[in-house]
Amino acid sequence: MCCGCAACKQRCPQQCITLTEDDEGFLYPHVDSDRCIDCKLCERVCPFLQPRKGQKPLHVYAAMHKDEIIRMQSSSGGIFTLLSEHVIARGGVVFGVRFDEQWEAVHDYTEKIEGLVAFRGSKYMQSRIGNAYEEVKQFLKEGREVLFSGTPCQVAGLKHFLGKRYEGLLTVDLVCHGVPSPKVWRKYLHGLKPQWTVANVQFRDKRLGWKRFCVNIQLCSPTDKSDIITVSHPFHEDIFMRGFLSNLYLRPSCYECRAKKGKSGSDITIADYWGIENVLPERDDDKGMGLVFLNTEQGYKSFPHSLSLYTETTYEDAVKYNGGINENIRTLHNRKRFFSELDKQCDTERLISEHLKVPLYKKVISRAKKMILKYISV
């Protein structure tokens, strides 16, 4: 059930906890029992052992950044950038997720507007949190305003780690589908064009529209750095995204997440406002609309109303088209077999594709259910 938030590692007074990658590519804590003093602090800060009660938002907005360029560079409406700009303008610090040199996700912070560029856009994998919680605490002790963004379990981990409320802290989580295996991501990238290096990754390119976003990966020739090709697919055709959205290789704890349904304790939750064409069709230009939950008074006061374009909607409308807000994902029947074959199969794309095929008996059952429902309706 470990969610990999790393709160235990950063809280341990003996520094006897290390995070080690398992066979599936996920990080898990391991304790040096010779140095452990059995203080139980690691258990007290675990957001899955000590889950919070859920909360519904005080306000629900369909919102977007006024700058259309920033909105087009963002996954949905540019709300993360909007909130971050507001904090930095007051001398604050923003924690977000960027890609490292190996194109894996890591948590980092910036004190400058220019630094937000690396945080912008979705990274569909679990970030390595490093010592981010300790750094947040240090900035808060110095009297700095801090915006911390992350998955619900990471925000919950930070809240448990801090152990008390800080007036200068603004926590922002996102509606999370789950986090895929970093190991699968590495093998997928390596298989695109062996020997070529990755120059850029963009999970949410909007040139075909927000609802039909593309996954773009730029690759650089090993012999000529100016020779760059782009591998681009609509998200529903990209094999890595298909496996991710089909729940094939997500972290085990994601299938029974204990940080959903407002349990992270975040001040603000952001996401894509899927279904905006039905809720507010006049606001839908297919360039991206953000869903914003203002969960606390701190979140409401911190939202820069005058700097955004927003319309208040209902929680029911938001949940209706965004199942990930409250619903847990289902484990794929062949997940275990997929990982057992991952190290044996050189062609990762082919392996993912094979495990996404629907067995014949399931097709027959599905077709039978549709016929029965059609008969009943008649």
pLDDT tens digits for 95-137? 999 999 999 999 999 999 999 999 999 999 889 999 999 999 9
pLDDT score recorded for residue 277: 96
Token pair of 148 as six digits = 């911390």
Q: Determine the residue type at 59.
A: H
What is 196-207 written as a DSSP string? -EEEEEEEEE-T
CA distance 169 to 302: 10
pLDDT score recorded for residue 363: 47
What is 248-316 written as a DSSP string? SSB-GGGGG-SSTTTTT--SEEEEE-TTHHHH-GGG--SS--EEEEE-SHHHHHHS-GGGEEEEEE-HH
Contact 61, 312 (CB under 8 A): yes
Work out the burial of residue 233: count CB atoms within 10 Å of its CB; fewer than 13 is exposed, 13-18 middle, 19 or more buried: middle
Beta strand spans in the chain (E): 17-21, 27-31, 59-65, 93-99, 105-110, 146-150, 169-174, 197-205, 214-220, 228-234, 268-272, 290-294, 308-313
CA distance 111 to 91: 7
Q: Does the pLDDT of residue 188 top 50, yes or no?
A: yes
pLDDT tens digits for 287-325? 999 999 999 999 999 999 999 999 999 999 999 999 889
Going by pLDDT thresholds of 50, 70 and 90, the confidence category of residue 246 is very high
Going by pLDDT thresholds of 50, 70 and 90, the confidence category of residue 361 is very low
pLDDT score recorded for residue 242: 96
pLDDT tens digits for 67-100? 999 999 999 999 999 999 999 999 999 999 999 9
Backbone angles phi, psi at 113, to 5 degrees: -55, -40
Radius of gyration of the chain (CA): 21
| Among candidate residues 52, 45, 115, the one with its CA nearest the CA of residue 80 | 115
pLDDT tens digits for 248-290? 999 999 999 999 989 999 999 999 999 999 999 999 999 999 9
The more confidently predicted of residues 340 and 346 is 340
Work out the burial of residue 136: count CB atoms within 10 Å of its CB; fewer than 13 is exposed, 13-18 middle, 19 or more buried: buried
pLDDT tens digits for 191-219? 998 889 999 999 999 999 999 999 999 99
142 Cβ contact partners less than 8 Å away, ≥ 6 residues apart: none
pTM over 0.95: no
- The label of the residue with tokens 């057992």 reads 340
Q: Does the pLDDT of residue 3 top 80, yes or no?
A: yes
CA distance 310 to 329: 30
pLDDT score recorded for residue 331: 87
| Among candidate residues 79, 130, 136, the one with its CA nearest the CA of residue 104 | 130
Going by pLDDT thresholds of 50, 70 and 90, the confidence category of residue 64 is very high
Mean pLDDT of the chain: 93
Helix (H, G, I), strand (E, B) or coil at 192: helix
